[in-house]
């Protein structure tokens, strides 16, 4: 698998709202991404090894751009 095709977990979030805000911001910039485990956050509000929170997945090639976008105050 090439680096451009590899999908990574970029971040985990404690709430669905935080996760969706990050995803929406990336969508606005045209960065492909998706969330997983967002339903578990409602059922298990405490993060641990089994339930790491809502996870944001991106392509590894976009990692630096994602960091730039999510760290900006726009």
3-state secondary structure of 27: helix
Radius of gyration of the chain measured on its C-alpha atoms: 13
In terms of C-beta density within 10 A (0-12 exposed, 13-18 middle, 19 or more buried), how is residue 35 classed? Answer: middle
Q: Looking at the DSSP assignment, which residues form a beta bridge with residue 12?
A: 55
Predicted TM-score (pTM) of this structure: 0.83
Main-chain dihedrals φ then ψ at residue 55, nearest 5 degrees: -110, 135
Report whether 13 contacts 70 (CB < 8 A).
Answer: no
Q: Domains of the chain: which residue ranges?
A: 3-71
Q: Which tens digit of pLDDT belongs to each residue from 38-74? A: 877 776 666 656 677 889 999 999 999 999 999 986 6
Choose between 25 and 43: higher pLDDT: 25
């Amino acid at each position: 698998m090439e680096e451009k095709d590899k999908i990574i977990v970029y971040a985990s979030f404690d709430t669905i709202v935080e996760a969706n805000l990050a995803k929406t911001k990336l969508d606005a910039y045209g960065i492909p991404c998706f969330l997983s485990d967002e339903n578990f956050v409602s059922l298990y509000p405490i993060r641990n090894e089994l339930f790491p929170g809502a996870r944001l997945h991106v392509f590894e090639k976009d990692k630096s751009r994602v960091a730039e976008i999510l760290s900006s105050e726009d």
